[in-house]
Amino acid sequence: MDKRLGRGPIDPFSRVCVAILVACFCAGPIGLIQRIAQTWDGFYLVILCGLIAFGASISTSYAFVHGLRGWRRQGLRLAEGVVVTVAVMAVGSIWQLPQFDGLRVAQLLIAALAWWLGGWSTARLQDVARPVPECARPRSVSPLPPLSTASSE
């Protein structure tokens, strides 16, 4: 448990569950794009979104555990963004000719959504694992006097 940041670590099973949930969430927009561009098969993008979400989960935990702030955190996010962009462009080029069109922009947007959701959901899971501060715990309350002894005015 990292006491400085007030966040608890999440286990690997939770990371895998986050990645699967994000991939399933991204399957909806991918299916919609497949309806529009019927010659495109986007199943690979569902798997890629799951892997991107898993990577975002790991990097978010890394940033919190090591206390990355400022330019170091932004540098990590920039490097992640470059890796995600290159991965989408490279994997997309395997299934179709390398081109930059509306379909590729949609793929990049869905991958960015998976990246954001993976990091965001990991941060929220770490917030849930955080212990309740001492000042927020309820204290004992003195009992109210019985109604029969209350004075009537």
Q: pLDDT, tens digit, for every residue of 107-127?
A: 999 999 999 999 999 888 887
Half-sphere exposure of 40 (CA within 13 A, CB side): 22
Give the pLDDT score at 135.
60
Cα separation, 69 vs 86, in Å, equals 25
Residues of the chain where predicted confidence (pLDDT) is lower than 70: 1-9, 95-98, 129-141, 149-153
User: Model pTM?
Assistant: 0.74
Q: What SS3 class is residue 1?
A: coil
Tell me the CB-side half-sphere exposure of residue 131, using CA atoms within 13 A.
7
pLDDT, residue 14, reads: 87
Identify the pLDDT of residue 153.
53
Instruction: Please enumerate in sequence order all residues whose Cβ is within 8 A of that of 73, keeping only pairs 6 or more positions apart, or say none.
Output: 63
pLDDT at residue 108, as a whole number: 92
Instruction: Give the residue from 143, 144, 119 showing the smallest Cα distance to 63.
Output: 119
Looking at residue 123, what is its pLDDT? 86
The pLDDT value given to residue 1 = 45
CA distances to 106, 147, 150 from 153, in Å? 72, 13, 10
